[in-house]
Amino acid sequence: MALQLFVANKNYSSWSMRPWLLLKQAGIPFIEQTILLGAESGPAIAKVSPSGRVPVLVDGDLRVHDSLAICEYLAEKFPEKNLWPRDSALRALARAWCAEMHAGFTALRSHAPMNVRRFLEKTPAWPEEVRRDIARIEKIWSAARAARPSDGDFLLGDFSILDAYYWPVVSRLLSYRVELAPESRAYAQFVWRLPVVLEWVKFAKEEEASLPHYDAVY
């Protein structure tokens, strides 16, 4: 039976974006099921998600909620994909950096909500806590590049869960025209040109255009 991934609106759901991009970039077949969030979405989500939230990965009778748990499950189910680094020390660092994104950066999330089709004309005046979040993201990216065993364009050289976990924040950084160091900007621009990211953005625009509240002016 094919894997099923239940996701929310692509324009806004960074949590859904992570496992979706991981599956796509890794070339793991799955069936996508979208539940658009709204007043009527609660019962639909409750039918598939034990937590009442998406994303949810369904594998036969197993239902895995939470984006990081989904990524961990996929890494174990498909060991040949090398979704975590083989080196134990580097794998531990990658897991720590993913956990940090999973649980932190609340100021950036609050002041720069994800909207993949919105690009501001100028950078907002960020409060100090947002500037700290941005600086920490850049430090993580720099530390990952310094530790990578190969010279690939991904954070650890080769594609890994770490990339999938930080790709949604790239949308925020570019949408809000955040000033980045040259290496960080190069990585962000590399991510934004990836076919799987372009596919997500395309679907997000099509999805939003079909909703009654859609406003194309930004």
Q: What is the tens place of the pLDDT at every residue in 8-40?
A: 889 889 999 999 999 999 999 999 988 877 656
pTM > 0.75: yes or no: yes
pLDDT greater than 70 at residue 212: no
Q: What residue ranges do the domains of the chain occupy?
A: 3-80, 84-198
Question: With contact defined as beta carbons under 8 Å apart, do 126 and 112 qualify?
Answer: no
In CATH, the architecture of 3-80 is: 3-Layer(aba) Sandwich (3.40)
Over the chain, what is the mean pLDDT? Answer: 90
What are the backbone angles phi and psi of residue 35, rounded to the nearest 5°? -120, 105
Q: Which residues of 19-31 are buried (b: 16+ CB within 10 A; e: fewer)?
A: bbbbbbbbebebe
Span 49-69, mean pLDDT?
90
Element (H, E) at 29: none
CATH class belonging to 84-198: mainly alpha
